[in-house]
Amino acid sequence: MATDKPLPPLSDAERDRLEALLEALPPPLEPLDLSALDGFLVGVLLQPKPVPRERWLRHVADADGRPAPAGVNLDTVKALVQRRHAELERAIAARQWFDPWVFDLEVDESGEEGLPSQVVLPWVAGFAAALDMFPALLQIDDSALREPLAVLYAHFDPEDLEDAGDLGALIADIAPPESVAEAVEDLVRCTLLLADVSRPRQPTVRRPPLRRG
């Protein structure tokens, strides 16, 4: 019996094309940037029940989910995004490493590079946006969610964490990553730890704690 072939992952050129298409979308659309889009897709995929495609896909071209103006064709954008979604879904389901779409910041006039948290913050912001829109993951009553969520949310400015609730104290104890590589590793490891709770495999294997410091 014939089976559907998995959608191929995006090449670097296709990823760059997706970025250009998103940046070219006209007002009033406010699309997610490429890194935030990647975090958003992970947040969608970690929900305990699959989110219908039409519900999350409309937030790609506009963060608020507004429809595209007449004459704006989103077919290519949607096709590329769905391939990235499928690639991430396979990695999460298999508990395998994936490469988050995070990008080094431009060196400022002083010659200083951005801090690791600044580099991964757009990804984390997209992830957090997905959890705001689709809160089922946060509604799971399992203490194993707290630490990976705290590691991710620790990249936000403390002033933006007034609603962090009981995560606040845990976030305060987390030491910032010492390098971009460490921050990126945290994105993947926290994703897989959260998946162990919201999308458990049989048998469930819990991973070691992530907290640094």
Query: 38-84, pLDDT tens digit by residue?
Result: 999 999 999 999 999 999 999 999 999 999 999 999 999 999 999 99
Q: Which domain holds residue 64?
A: 12-198
* Res. 87: pLDDT tops 70: yes
96 found inside a domain: yes
Cα(179)–Cα(206) distance, rounded to whole angstroms? 26
In a domain, 209, yes or no: no
pTM, full prediction:
0.89
2 located within any domain: no
How confident is the model over 103-139, as pLDDT tens digits? 987 655 554 556 899 999 999 999 999 999 999 999 9
Residues 1-51 pLDDT 10s? 445 677 789 999 999 999 999 999 999 999 999 999 999 999 999 999 999
Q: Are 165 and 68 a contacting pair, CB within 8 Å?
A: no
d(CA 146, CA 174): 12
Evaluate whether residue 207 is within a structural domain. no
Residue 5 lies in a domain: no
- The answer to whether residue 180 sits within a structural domain is yes
Residue 205 lies in a domain: no
Total number of domains constituting the chain:
1
Read off the pLDDT of residues 181-212 as tens digits, 9 standing for 90 and up: 999 999 999 999 999 999 998 765 556 555 55
Domain CATH code at residue 76: 1.20.120.740
